[in-house]
Amino acid sequence: MPIRTTGFRIARILGIPIYLDASWLLIFGWITYQLSKIVLPQMHSKWTPTQYWSVGVLTSLLFFASVLFHELAHSMVALYYKIPVHSITLFIFGGIARIGKEPSKPIQEFNIAIAGPLASFFLAGLYRLGNHQGFFPRHADCGVERQGGCLCADGHRRLRGFLQK
Ligand SMILES: [Zn+2]
């Protein structure tokens, strides 16, 4: 599969360039809209529109920071095995970490694959704790759990698809 790196480079973390695909803007807008116009007004009927939109944007950002954290977890384990990580791209279905060569042992591949979901469970627990203390918007953990479902599964299929010699 050809490596296609599109989008805007937004950062460099652990030496890995982080890209935002144009499709990311769509999903970011859609999630923010759903939160600000539907979810939050149902949960907090007395808030102002400014509150709905600012909390909506922050929650979407938090969600994508979680996706990025998940991909970084895969990448850190890959780097640990001296497998180069070319880039991380956030796009409409979540994130993809593109790595430079196939892990030489099945256990390495397994550890790279499992690191992402573990990171997400860790974050979900952290958000739960935060919610309990009232630090985070209450539905922030739903985003992480959803990431543990469809978004993450897709990311893994793609991660495997991008494993190259
Ligand atoms: Zn993953």
Q: How far is the CA of 33 from the centre of ligand 1 (A)?
A: 25
pLDDT of residue 39: 87
Q: How far is the CA of 94 from the centre of ligand 1 (A)?
A: 9
pLDDT of residue 67: 86
pLDDT of residue 144: 42
d(C-alpha 105, C-alpha 151), whole Å: 26
Q: Which SS3 state, helix, strand or coil, does residue 55 take?
A: helix
pLDDT of residue 148: 37
pLDDT of residue 130: 63
Q: What is the pTM of this model?
A: 0.76
pLDDT of residue 98: 85
Backbone angles phi, psi at 94, to 5 degrees: 135, -125
Q: Report which DSSP code applies to 39.
A: I
Q: Of the candidates 28, 38, 32, which has an alpha carbon nearest to the alpha carbon of residue 55?
A: 32
pLDDT of residue 165: 33
Would you write out the chain's pLDDT as a tens digit for each of its 165 residues? 444 566 889 999 999 999 998 888 888 999 899 999 998 998 888 999 999 999 999 988 888 888 889 889 989 999 999 988 888 888 877 788 888 888 888 888 888 888 888 888 888 777 777 665 544 444 444 344 433 333 344 445 545 555 433
71 among known catalytic residues: yes
Ion ligand 1, residue ranges at CB < 5 A: 116, 152, 155
Q: Which pair of structure tokens corresponds to residue 109? A: 């591949």
Q: How far is the CA of 152 from the centre of ligand 1 (A)?
A: 5
Q: How far is the CA of 58 from the centre of ligand 1 (A)?
A: 22
| Bridge partners for 8 per DSSP | 20
Burial of 35 (0-12, 13-18, 19+ CB in 10 A): buried
Q: Which of 71, 102, 109, 145 is catalytic?
A: 71
Strand pairing category for 94-99 and 16-20:
unpaired
pLDDT of residue 5: 60
Strand order in the sheet with 94-99: 8-13, 16-20, 85-91, 94-99
Long-range CB contact pairs, 38-42, < 8 A, 24+? 39/139, 40/137
